[in-house]
């Protein structure tokens, strides 16, 4: 039952959201839109890794999700710092 929910509902929903975020990433009119889309894409990737980990019972994949979250956070903070310095000048 749980496997059917993952295969027929969760994975298509994640796939559609990835497609929509990629559209925003490529069309985004400003750099800020693209950074937010990239941050959302990493959050969706973490959700996909979590679902895959539940489906295959592989706990090691969750470590990859944690590392991806840390890198995404650091990238967002670095970009916010860049924007702050750009607006001061």
Domain chopping of the chain, boundaries: 2-88
Joined tokens for residue 5? 């929910």
Q: pTM to 2 decimals?
A: 0.85
Residues 9-38 as b or e (16 or more Cβ within 10 Å = b): eeeeebeebbeebeebbeeeeeeeebbbbb
Give the span between the Cα atoms of 35 and 73, in whole angstroms. Answer: 11
Q: What is the chain's pLDDT, residue by residue, as a tens digit (89 residues)? A: 777 888 888 889 999 999 999 999 999 899 889 999 999 999 999 999 999 898 888 999 999 999 999 999 999 999 989 888 887 76
């Amino acid at each position: 039952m749980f496997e059917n929910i993952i295969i027929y509902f969760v994975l298509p929903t994640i796939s559609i959201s990835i497609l929509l975020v990629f559209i925003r990433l490529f069309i985004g009119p400003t750099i800020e839109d693209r950074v937010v889309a990239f941050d959302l894409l990493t959050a969706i990737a973490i959700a996909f890794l979590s679902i895959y980990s539940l489906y295959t019972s592989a706990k090691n994949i969750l470590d990859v999700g944690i590392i991806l979250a840390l890198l995404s956070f650091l990238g967002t903070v670095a970009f916010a710092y860049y924007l702050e310095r750009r607006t001061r000048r």
